[in-house]
């Protein structure tokens, strides 16, 4: 049975790419009964007599999945944060990082619009670059006006499936348009379409890059609440806590009120930044509150 990958979903059709080319498939009814919906990014088995009448018969187990937007087997999340306009938000970056870590997806941080490089920005940029690099994250600078930064980004996207994420206005579509000239990426409509319970079906598509690899054309995560993340596991989403937490006095220490907490000591010693720790406490509280409400 031929196998391929769903690269686009539209109006009940799934476009499966394989060595044979792209086949337009429907899902077999039994998926719907079992409440499994094929996602863009899924590896599937299908049967097809021609290029427009295929059926998806089986879906391979997923490495990971994002529900909003629905996309499976994402290998990398490119977290795009502009240095200005909109202003860089460390708390939002940490929120994205927690999501990415919780989903087992590799993050790549892109500080975008680095052509806007006057004094105040430069200092802040260097500070955060250093802080996140020390945690072990990869941080790149990008600007659609600085070609060398685009060339530096390209190898990170080659031969893997990436999803771009970040606030509206940080330059996601602009970057995609440069990486894939000719594909007119619609401008971001998240802020408008998310309002007032308006029902919008998110159209997701994997855009093949010339160098190999795909970028999911989606506005990124549409929801950033912590559903599905337990407070006791939040610390696992902060890589710089990992080693330290072995030396906390209490097993399962949540680094909040426990005595002899190595993470809190590391904050005092400057090994863990105050901002990151404060965000951890803020998210922890948010998760606890969510739990109390339901």
Ligand X SMILES: Nc1nc2c(ncn2[C@@H]2O[C@H](COP(=O)(O)OP(=O)(O)O)[C@@H](O)[C@H]2O)c(=O)[nH]1
Residues that bind ligand X (CB under 6 A): 112-113, 115-116, 143-145, 166, 168-174, 187-188
Check residue 206 for interaction with Zn ion (CB under 5 A).
no
**Binding annotation for GTP:** 112-115, 166-174
Nearer to Zn ion, 215 or 248 (CB): 248
Nearer to ligand X, 153 or 287 (CB): 153
Give first-to-last CA distance, the chain, whole Å: 45
Report the partner that residue 263 touches, choosing among Zn ion, ligand X, Mg ion, none (CB closer than 5 to 8 A by kind). Answer: Zn ion
**Which of 7, 234, 248, 266: binder of Zn ion (CB under 5 A)?**
248
Shortest distance, position 113 Cβ to ligand X, whole Å: 4
Nearer to ligand X, 103 or 174 (CB): 174
The Cα–Cα gap between 163 and 141 comes to 17
Question: If you ran DSSP here, which 8-state letter would residue 29 be given?
Answer: H
Tokens of 153: 């980004």
Nearer to ligand X, 99 or 172 (CB): 172
The Cα–Cα gap between 215 and 163 comes to 6
**Which of 253, 267, 272, 287: binder of Zn ion (CB under 5 A)?**
253
Count of CB atoms situated within 10 Å of the CB of 153: 19
CB 80 within 8 A of CB 110: yes
* Separation in Å, CA 236 to CA 104, 210, 280: 11, 36, 11
Q: In the complex, which residues of this chain contact Zn ion (CB under 5 A)?
A: 248, 253, 255, 261, 263
């Amino acid at each position: 049975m031929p196998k391929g990958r769903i690269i686009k979903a539209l109006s009940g059709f799934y476009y499966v790419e394989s060595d044979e080319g792209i086949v337009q498939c429907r899902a077999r009814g039994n998926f719907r009964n079992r409440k499994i919906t094929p996602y863009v990014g899924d590896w599937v088995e299908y049967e097809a007599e021609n290029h427009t009448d295929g059926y998806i018969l089986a879906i391979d187990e997923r490495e990971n999945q994002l529900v909003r937007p629905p996309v499976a087997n994402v290998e990398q999340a490119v977290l795009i944060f502009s240095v200005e306009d909109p202003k860089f938000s460390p708390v939002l970056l940490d929120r994205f990082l927690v999501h990415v870590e919780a989903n087992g997806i590799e993050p790549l941080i892109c500080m975008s619009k680095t052509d806007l490089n006057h004094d105040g920005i430069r200092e802040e940029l260097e500070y955060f670059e250093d802080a996140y690099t020390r945690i072990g994250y990869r941080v790149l600078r990008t600007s659609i006006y600085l070609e060398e930064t685009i060339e530096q980004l390209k190898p990170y996207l080659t031969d893997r499936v990436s999803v771009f994420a970040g606030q509206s206005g940080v330059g996601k579509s602009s970057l995609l348009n440069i990486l894939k000239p000719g594909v007119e990426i619609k401008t971001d409509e998240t802020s408008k379409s998310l309002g007032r319970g308006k029902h919008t079906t998110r159209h997701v598509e994997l855009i093949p890059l010339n160098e190999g690899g795909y970028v999911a054309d989606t506005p990124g995560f549409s929801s950033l609440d912590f559903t599905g993340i337990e407070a006791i596991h939040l610390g696992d989403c902060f890589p710089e806590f990992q080693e330290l937490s072995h030396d906390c006095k209490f097993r399962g220490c949540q680094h909040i009120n426990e005595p002899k907490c190595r993470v809190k000591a590391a904050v005092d010693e400057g090994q863990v930044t105050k901002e990151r720790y404060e965000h951890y406490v803020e998210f922890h509280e948010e998760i606890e509150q969510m739990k109390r409400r339901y």
